[in-house]
Amino acid sequence: MAQREQDTLEGVIESIVYKNEENGYTIASVLLDDGGATTILGNLPFLGAGEHISATGSYSIHPQHGPQFQVESYYREMPEEEEGIYAYLASRVIRGVGPKAAGLIVSRFGCESFRVLAEEPEKLACVKGISLARAKEIQEEFLRLNAMRVLLEFLAEYRLPSRFAAGLTAAYGDRAAEVLRENPYLLCEEPYLLPFQEADALASRLGIGEDSDLRLEAGILYVLSFNLQAGHTFLPEDRLLETACSLLERDESWLRPHLPALEEKEKLVRDSRKGRSIVYLSAVYEQEVFAARQVARLQKMPLLPPHDLEKALARQEEKTSLAYAQKQREAICLPFSSGITLITGGPGTGKTTALLTMIDLFRSYGMKALLAAPTGKAAKRMSQLTGQESKTIHRLLEPSFDKTGRLRFKKNASDPLQGDVVIVDESSMLELSLAASLLAALPLHARLVLVGDADQLPPVGAGSFFADLLGVEELPRVRLTEIFRQAQGSDIVVNAHAFNEGRVPPLKKNNGDFFFSTTKSAESTVDSVVSLMSRRIPEHFGIPQSEIQVICPSRQGVCGTENLNRLLQAALNPPAEGKGETRFGETVFRAGDRVMQVRNNYDRVWKRIDPAETGAGVYNGDTGNIVLIDRQARLMIVRFDDREADYPFDELSELEHAFAITAHKAQGSEYAAAIIPVFSAPQRLLNRNLLYTAVTRAKKLLVMVGREELVRQMVDSPNANRRYSGLRLRVRELLCHEA
């Protein structure tokens, strides 16, 4: 991606306009060295009036507030003149020191004030209103702020983001800069997540050798962390060492002795499975063990179903004029006698009906059910189906951040959720870390119901929580397999089940709601996709473009999302006079574009017009449309359903086009119509789970474009869900042992 040109400024902080003490976000007015003035904003912890600041970032003009400067990195210089010293102390940057105390200190010690604060705090006790104990507290705070200045200078020198400063200071106090000089590999850890190669280059500049223990141990930990992204909760020891040797360019004999050292430091845990040594990051091991214990506890909860449950179910049948199938009845009733219930099934098998009835019955018995899903789209769909509020699991658990910037949840064992049952839809998307947090927040009396389709793609994060639990025969579960009559008329549903069973149905019937179009080249495939979305489907089926989604196996290649998004943008939303647009790297964003948030941002502020509401949090997978691009203000506004969020131009990395998305990104969502190009894709993505997931996203119409042989290849490759995970065996061991 192309580097953005950065602006610079130098000046003196005139005043602090706003400061968020939790995350360090600050707005301040600056008197520039060239005689002008501006407003700066960004993560600027501990900034005080009177300080001289040198910063890099970007200028913009806010429609209401005028010129402003978004700071990316900066360093500070303490004032030396009495006027500047007074302004600094009067800005309340030091707790308990305001304008009055600042005036008394400066009038007594003048330009020596800072030296007195640092070296002779006892002299402050001579100032009216300051005791000896308070003088010591002022010294400690002053030294802490000075250490922050030193840290910021270090970060600026090595072109590291200044946003790291607050977390580093919280973690390491006054020694943060010193700690980083000694071990820059700390930046590879959460919440900083600096790539190993960048930390390695920094270490080299700081004189840390290639054979240092720090480097070798950091490399081992990085391999484990990196493989979490591939879904593995652990790695076999031999595979871990092989990969680390490649990364560090060292022989195994150099690395193996570091495993017990890292164990002793509680950085990793070694275990064994089937006689094979396996290695976890300590935090992941604890999550897996905790989740297994909680699942075992739920399975053993002594619960008796209501005595009149069958009668209540009969009343529901009468009320809805439905006759539940036997498996549906089991799915509805099982949660009333089980602490944990697993319900799985494909499209058309009655999961939704069972879920709705179950919620109604819980309500009729005076039990409070909390509804949740891993993604915003899935949660919204659940709310629409049930008529009851459903939240993302993150929102349900109330995300917050500790002083180091690490994600934490307010809802936990000390402050559990307020409900009698928690029902999670799209549970196949639930990764281990989030599942462990949910289990921790579950009240002791509450039961858990997990609903999903185990044959879809595994979660983006580590583990296969839902699939692992379905592999534990001792856990109560219902697998819905019967396709109901109303769904039997849908070729989408029938063909999806055929794919999932390893069969390729006749693809060229081309009637009903499922169509297959054969193409002879990748280029003709994408031409057909563009034609279908821009003209043919809206004209022939009356489905608007906004309800059509292109779902690709891959991001790369002619038939990948990156190329298709460029072509679809040109066809569906071409440039026009008065239509705002901006370039970010190689991407052109244009008003009217369909875009997707690609990472969780818990601080992104959004506004809802009707009803008027303001909140925070835009999550990975949220899809919306660009409604305004203001180049002067360097601001873009995106509408997500009924919410709007502002994106400064330097934060556009959080967005990408969504005319075409991958099957992984589509999981948890449904669309009126879906178009799936199946001409070519990387071998690792050609599997049954991906095909099945993509096909089951379409509600009214599905069109596949490409080669039949590629479909057959995907159907013949069923094992996309294979991951290194120990949860299934841990749960089984606990249940068998306790039995």
pLDDT (tens digit, 9 = 90+) per residue, 270-298? 999 888 999 999 999 999 999 999 999 99
Cα separation, 121 vs 124, whole angstroms: 5
The structure's pTM equals 0.82
The pLDDT confidence band at residue 738, using thresholds 50, 70 and 90, is low
Other C-beta atoms lying within 10 Å of the C-beta of residue 257: 10
Cα separation, 477 vs 736, whole angstroms: 17
* Amino acid (1-letter code) at residue 77: E
Q: Over the range 271-307, which residues count as b (16 or more CB within 10 Å of their CB) and which as e?
A: beeeeeebbbbbbbbebbbbbbebbbbbbeeeeeeee
pLDDT-wise least confident of 332-336, 516-520, 646-650, 717-721 = 717-721
The pLDDT confidence band at residue 486, using thresholds 50, 70 and 90, is low
CA nearest to 180, candidates 206, 162, 159, 218: 206
The answer to whether the beta carbons of residues 378 and 391 sit under 8 Å apart is no
Q: Return the pLDDT at 1.
A: 37
Cα separation, 45 vs 152, whole angstroms: 10
pLDDT-wise least confident of 227-236, 450-459, 518-527, 720-729 = 720-729
pLDDT (tens digit, 9 = 90+) per residue, 624-660? 999 999 888 888 999 998 889 999 887 898 999 999 9
Which H or E element spans position 567? helix 561-572
SS (H, E, C) 111-150: HHHHHHHHHCHHHHHHCCCCCHHHHHHHHHHHHHHHHHHH
pLDDT (tens digit, 9 = 90+) per residue, 461-485? 899 999 999 999 999 999 998 887 5
Pairing of strands 268-273, 340-345: unpaired
Give all strands (DSSP E) within 437-530, no chain letters: 447-452, 477-480, 514-518
Rg (CA), the chain: 29
pLDDT (tens digit, 9 = 90+) per residue, 3-40? 445 788 889 888 888 877 655 678 889 999 888 889 99
Cα separation, 431 vs 435, whole angstroms: 6
The pLDDT confidence band at residue 694, using thresholds 50, 70 and 90, is very high
Other C-beta atoms lying within 10 Å of the C-beta of residue 628: 14
Q: Return the pLDDT at 4.
A: 47
Q: What is the mean pLDDT of residues 356-364?
A: 93
The answer to whether the beta carbons of residues 182 and 206 sit under 8 Å apart is no
CA nearest to 105, candidates 147, 135, 79: 135
Q: Return the pLDDT at 249.
A: 94
Q: At residue 739, does pLDDT exceed 60?
A: no
- Return the SS3 of 687: coil
pLDDT (tens digit, 9 = 90+) per residue, 175-219? 889 999 999 999 998 878 899 999 999 999 999 999 999 999 999
Cα separation, 473 vs 190, whole angstroms: 36
Percent of the chain with pLDDT over 90: 58
Q: Return the pLDDT at 63.
A: 63
Q: What is the largest CA-CA distance in the chain?
A: 94
The pLDDT confidence band at residue 501, using thresholds 50, 70 and 90, is very high
pLDDT (tens digit, 9 = 90+) per residue, 365-399? 999 999 999 988 888 889 988 889 999 999 999 98
Q: What is the mean pLDDT of residues 93-100?
A: 83
Cα separation, 231 vs 720, whole angstroms: 11
Q: Over the range 187-207, which residues count as b (16 or more CB within 10 Å of their CB) and which as e?
A: bbbeebebebeebbebbeeee
